[in-house]
Structure 1
């Protein structure tokens, strides 16, 4: 739980020893950051309302979207390539993300290309513990994934709900412009 460090400038005699708390010690002792963040968000929600909490989560998501958009746009129009680029960009930020192509079962009557999809899996989430109480963080992240990829995505699981990874289903055969909820009624 402690790690020795070299003491600089020690004089004659027995070597001086100094110690610092090792990462394992910090984990065991804990920190108050999570409790402080949870308290702040709870107070924001209670004092100002759910809209303020959503605005905060949306602002955080917008920062993520702005950061990842150049990498995703550079991948071109192909949704699979965009998903791979997004996974790589998220991994650089510590999300440990992968984009895995899902092959449809061959026994479907539907054309195979209509069933093709990608699963974006995130093995780490920096706000997992907060998202357990404030699911709006997951909702907003799902929205930016949809916006970045240009398709209507579905969140299948989240770590904040107890899953091993956050998983987002990304269909390859339709885009936002052709999904029922994004087309205009004439």
Structure 2
């Protein structure tokens, strides 16, 4: 349930029930537990324009404590390990480690590529399966690949090689030049990568190549 709210934002009980295919009673039990743990908070849903009878529905959102549950418990240990690796084996060893971290997404992408109509859709599924909670947002110049969670955000803040390796892997998997616009590791709310529309070569004119007289 918390992951659904992380991915889709503050949600009502009805929205959660539909997404998770649970009964209202089950949803209420889960919500009560998460609120008691301090992982969720609730407020009245904002209604714009004319409001019907009755009180507005309540929406449930993650607290800072709820978000913290999604971060790895061993971030500090990982940072110390990478620092040691950098000292004894050099920067190239850290870069190779970063490539190995991304390899899990690449393997998943390769396994499911044929099941999707586009490379970007396959990459979204591969990222989400690995805990990155991804989606696509269309823009005029292409699409933005959004990652709402980063399991290695705290480590990547100390070792940007992880983000750099991920960006290179995206470019290879999508066979496209991509541009990283924002990262959770650097304090942004969402990791955002711009994937431009494919550039098709212009159709050659039938008169092209004829000598000018």
Name the TM-score, length of structure 2 as normaliser.
Answer: 0.57
Contact in 1 for aligned 2:75/2:152 (Cα 8 Å): no
1:102 is aligned to 2:127: no
Is residue 85 of structure 1 aligned with residue 140 of structure 2?
Answer: no
> Mean alpha-carbon deviation: is it higher for 124-133 or for 94-103?
94-103
How far apart are residue 57 of structure 1 and its match? Answer: 0.7
- Counterpart of 2:87 in structure 1 is 46
3-state SS in 2 of match to 1:125: coil
Count of residues in correspondence between the two structures: 136
Contact 2:183/2:190 (8 A) holds in 1:
yes
TM superposition shift of 1:66: 1.4
Paired position in structure 1 for 2:111: 70
Structure 2 CA distance for aligned equivalents of residues 174 and 74 of structure 1: 24
Q: Aligned pair 1:160/2:160, yes or no? A: no
Cα deviations by residue, 1:10-39 (Å, 9 ceiling, x for unpaired): xxxxxxxxxxxx8979x79xx962221111
The alpha carbon displacement at 1:62 in A equals: 2.1
Q: SS where residue 132 of structure 2 aligns?
A: coil
Q: Partners of 1:57 and 1:153 in 2: how far apart?
A: 18
**How far apart, in 2, do the equivalents of 1:32 and 1:73 lie?**
35
Question: CA–CA distance in 1 between the matches of 2:76 and 2:38?
Answer: 19
* Distance in 2 separating the partners of 1:38 and 1:174: 40
C-alpha displacement at 1:73, in angstroms? 4.0
Q: Distance in 1 between matches of 2:73 and 2:184?
A: 21
Q: CA deviation at 1:117?
A: 0.6
**CA distance 1:152–1:32, shift in 2 (3 Å):** closer
In structure 2, the CA distance between the partners of 1:130 and 1:102, relative to structure 1 (3 Å rule), is: same
Q: Does the alignment pair 1:55 with 2:96?
A: yes
The alignment yields a C-alpha RMSD, in angstroms, of 2.6
CA drift at 1:89: 2.6
User: Matches of 2:95 and 2:38 in 1, distance apart?
Assistant: 33
- Structure 1: give runs of 5+ residues left out of the alignment: 1-21, 104-115, 176-186
Separation in structure 1 between the aligned mates of residue 130 and residue 38 of structure 2, nearest angstrom = 20
> Which runs of no fewer than 5 residues in structure 2 stay unpaired?
1-36, 40-64, 201-213
